[in-house]
Structures are given as C-alpha cells and as structure tokens.
Amino acid sequence: MTGLITIRIAMRALVRNKTRSLLTALGIIIGIAAVIAVVAVGQGASVTMRNQISSMGNNLLMIFPGSQRTGGFHGGAGTQQTLTAEDGEAILRECPMVQAMSPMVRAGGQCIYRENDWATSVQGVNVQYQEVRSWDVASGSFFTDSDLRSAARVCVLGQTVAENLFQGEDPLNKTIRIKNMPFRVVGVMTKKGSAAWGQDQDDTIIAPWTTVRRVLQNSPFNNVNQLMMSLVSMDALPAAKDEISKILRQRHRLNQTTDDDFTITDMTEVTQMITQVSSLMTMLLTIIASISLAVGGIGIMNIMLVAVSERTREIGLRLAVGARRRDILMQFLAEAVALSGAGGIIGIGLGISVANIVAKVNHWPVMISASAILLALTFSAGVGIFFGFYPAWRAARLNPIESLRRE
C-alpha cells in the first residue's frame, strides 16, 4: 500500500469520528499553540525591548539615590534625599568620560488646555537632556539655560501630550496649565515610541528641573530623583562607574565602612534582566509544552487503543484479503500521526492568532519564525509516532482468525 493512500485512509478514519478526534487532539493543539504564541510574543518583545533600550539614549548611565542591597533593578528610586543636581554637575566636571548630564525630577500632573485635559508626568531636566537621551525638538525649541536658572514656567511637550491636549492645533507659545500653574509651550519633541517596559515615552512634558522643583513641588531643596548621563563610549562604562562612585562617596563624605547612598545603573543591567526573564520564560514554556504534549500523546495512545479494539474485525478482514502486518502497523501509525499532526497544524494556527492579538495589544512586532513552526510540526508528528506506536503494534500483532471471529 502506498504512503499517500495510507494517509488518505487515516484521514478518513479521523473525519469519521470528528468530535472524538478533535477532543483527542486538544492536548496537542493547546501545547503547540502555547509554544508558538509564547515564542512569537517573546521574540517580538525582546527585539522591541532591545530597540527601545537603544532608543533610551546612547551609552546611558543612571544614578539613583539610596543604596542597592538586592540584585534587581532599583525599586525605591527617589525615596532618599541624598542625590543633588550639584552632584551631577561635579561628575560632569570631574569625570571626562561623562559627555552630558541631566538631573531628573519627576512630578505627576493634570494638564489643561482650554476644555482639554490630560494626566501625564512632568520630567524636570536640564538642557543637556536632549543629548543624554538623543532626543530632538521637532518644532519650536528646547528651553534654555537662563530658563533653568530663573525657574521659568516653560515646557516642551511629548508628541502624545501635544496630540491629546491640542488635537491638531499648533501648541507653540500657547499657555497650558499644569497642576493649575500656567506654563508656556516652547517646543514639541520628536516621537520616541514606547519604552522597554511598555510605557509611552511620548506621554510626557519636559520642563526645567528647577521649575518642577520650585513651582510644581514647591520645594527649596536641590535633591533630584535621578541623574542621567551619557558616556563617551560603552567601553568606558566600568571605569566611569568607578570614578563616579569615588566622586559621589567623597562628596557625600562616606567613610570606608559605610555603604554607598546611591546606585549606579546602566542599560546592560536592564538588558541582562530581560535576558534572564526571557530565559526563565523559555524554560517554563518548555516544561508546560512538554507536559501538555505528553498528556496529548497519552490521549492519542488511549484513543488509538480504543480504535484498535473497536476495529479488530476490520483488521482481521484486511489481513485476510492480503494486508501484511506492516500495512496494518502503518495504517494505525498514520492515523496517530495524522491526529497529532492535525493537532499541531491547528495549534500553530491558534498560536499565531494569539501571538498576533497579544502583539497588537502591546504594539510589538509579531516574530513567527519558520524554524519554530517547523519544530512544532516535527514535535507533533514525533508525538504521534511515539505514542501511536504501541497501539499500532498491538493492531499489527492481531491473529486474523480470532479477529475475524470477534463480534
């Protein structure tokens, strides 16, 4: 019997018991769909994150107040009051590897322009912020050093804020109210897209940090939430970290036994964290997929054993009219593989749809690799062969006379 005919007969046997076949294949469908979806989403997400990390700025380095006791990303940024804009100035002055520096003071605020209002975050920075983030002004201009010194009530809008507040109107030189304080819009930034953690980087207002501190936060102090700086090159990172640490410890008068009261973070840590998370995800996924494929495979084995016993007489008849044991083996093996293979194909389709939906919601690209699909197909067929072999072997071993006599 030829392979093509074997497959056709197998397909027909499956179609005959549609519901049963579908339920049996469900384990495989879910397993494969999960793998495809998570791989696609994971790859899309990690590519996006890497792009976004580089979009954060060139050779970026960040300093947060407070010490870092655990390994992860700094959680309580800005909770301690130890880091000042003067620290940043000193670093820029004394450390030649630091190319540009901006302090960062964050405030939340309701913004109003005429009848439109929009809740967003306000970033208080200095003029070098543009260089640190490699982020340009699209129209108008950035605020100036004299705005900074005088804590002028001027601001530059991110694209999202500009769109929502002005809805097509030209924002330049209009006055908006942030927390009821009037600010003049001097510029609009270019579009930056969303950040590695999914946050829309354009949903922000940029103002002189002095203004944010004095006007919005009503504070006389110069401590900041964060210092951002860009280095001359990524190679300078370890040396720069050492030197910055030395400068800050000296300025903060920390003796040798005291911990740092600041944390220096760079994007390699974020990248490493993403890699760590994604490899953990991959491992979890592999476990889930293996379990669900094994469960699906056992289901297939079970149903194939039922099919063999239901069709004992058919097997006897086929043997009587000239089928070899090998033909019977292949027939039932083909049926098991068709079952798992069809499950795999449906699973791939389902996985792609899920990945598309997830990607759309998160604005990620869908990365469905041909190798993942090929692997999924191979695996599902492999499950069919592995778990279908025993039932098929049982069928092929049947005695024709006894099988024919079975009612």
Partner 1 sequence: MLISLKEISKVYHMEEVDVPALRSVTATIDTGEFVAIMGHSGSGKSTLLNLLGCLDRPDSGTYLLDDKEVSRLSSDDLARIRNQKIGFVFQNFNLLARTSALENVELPLYYGPKISAAERQERARSLLTRVGLENRLGHHPGQLSGGQQQRVAIARALVNQPPLILADEPTGNLDSRSADDIMALFQELNREGITIVMVTHEPDIARYAKRVIQMKDGQIV
When asked if residue 370 is in the footprint of partner 1 (CB under 8 A), the reply is no
Which of residues 114, 191, 246, 326 is near partner 1 by CB under 8 A?
Answer: 326
Q: What token pair was written down for 177? A: 């109210």
For the beta carbon of residue 108, count every other beta carbon within 10 angstroms: 11
Q: How far is the CB of 407 from partner 1 (least distance, A)?
A: 9
Residue 49: its H or E element = helix 18-56
149 lies in the binding site for partner 1 (CB under 8 A): no
327 lies in the site for partner 1, by CB under 8 A: yes
Asked if 176 and 118 count as a contact pair (C-beta separation under 8 A), the reply is no
Does 218 interact with partner 1 (rule: CB under 8 A)? no
**Residue 386, token pair as written in the block:** 């592995």
Of 319, 330, 348, 392, the one binding partner 1 (CB under 8 A) is 319
Asked if 318 interacts with partner 1 (CB under 8 A), we say yes
Q: Is 321 in the site for partner 1 (CB under 8 A)?
A: yes
323 binds partner 1 (CB under 8 A): yes
Q: How many DSSP H helices and E strands does the chain contain? A: 13, 10
Measure the N-to-C terminal CA separation of the chain; round to a whole number of Å: 27
Helix extents (H) in 133-224: 145-149, 159-166, 209-211
Scanning 95-103, 228-236, 323-331, 334-342 for contacts with partner 1 by CB under 8 A, the matching segment is 323-331
Q: Which CB atom, from 5 or from 374, has the smaller least distance to partner 1? A: 5
- Structure-token match 């980087």, residue found: 201
One residue of 92, 306, 317, 352 binding partner 1 per CB under 8 A: 317
Question: What is the Cα–Cα distance from 225 to 124, expressed in whole angstroms?
Answer: 10
Minimum distance from residue 322 beta carbon to partner 1 (Å): 2
Only segment of 44-52, 114-122, 151-159, 313-321 that touches partner 1 (CB under 8 A):
313-321
User: Distance between CA atoms of 26 and 331, rounded to whole angstroms?
Assistant: 22
Distance separating alpha carbons of residues 56 and 236, to the nearest angstrom: 18
> Nearer Cβ to partner 1, position 328 or 367?
328
Q: Tell me how many residues contact partner 1 (CB under 8 A).
A: 21
Out of 1, 350, 372, 377, name the contact with partner 1 by CB under 8 A. Answer: 1
| ∠ Cα 36 40 42 (to 5°) | 115
Which range in 1-9, 93-101, 231-239, 358-366 contacts partner 1 by CB under 8 A? 1-9
**18 touches partner 1 by CB under 8 A:** no
DSSP letter, residue 216? I
Which distant-in-sequence residues (6+ apart) come within 8 Å of 45 by Cβ? 278, 362, 364
Minimum distance of partner 1 from residue 399's CB (angstroms): 8
Judged by CB under 8 A, the stretch of 161-169, 213-221, 294-302, 398-406 that binds partner 1 is 398-406
- At residue 344, φ and ψ (nearest 5 deg) are -60, -45
Which DSSP string corresponds to 271-306? HHHHHHHHHHHHHHHHHHHHHHHHHHHHHHHHHHHH
CB of 344 to partner 1, least distance (A): 27
Closer to partner 1 by Cβ: residue 4 or 361: 4
The answer to whether 206 and 189 are in contact (CB under 8 A) is yes
Which of 149, 313, 360, 363 binds partner 1 (CB under 8 A)? It is 313
Q: Are 380 and 351 in contact (CB under 8 A)?
A: no
Among 93, 149, 325, 360, binds partner 1 (CB under 8 A): 325
Residue 324 makes contact with partner 1 by CB under 8 A: yes
Give residues 220-249 in contact with partner 1 (rule: CB under 8 A): none
Q: Of the candidates 124, 135, 123, 130, which has an alpha carbon nearest to the alpha carbon of residue 100?
A: 130
Give the angle subtended at the CA of 241 by the CAs of 235 and 247, to the nearest 5°. Answer: 135
Q: Which is nearer to partner 1, 3 or 72 (CB)?
A: 3
Q: Which residue lies nearer to partner 1 by CB, 2 or 218?
A: 2
Token readout for 190 is: 């270019």
Q: Does 404 participate in binding partner 1 (rule CB under 8 A)?
A: yes
Binding to partner 1 by CB under 8 A, coded x per residue (else -) over 81-120, reads ----------------------------------------
Which residues of this protein are in contact with partner 1, per CB under 8 A?
1-2, 5, 16, 313-314, 316-327, 400-401, 404
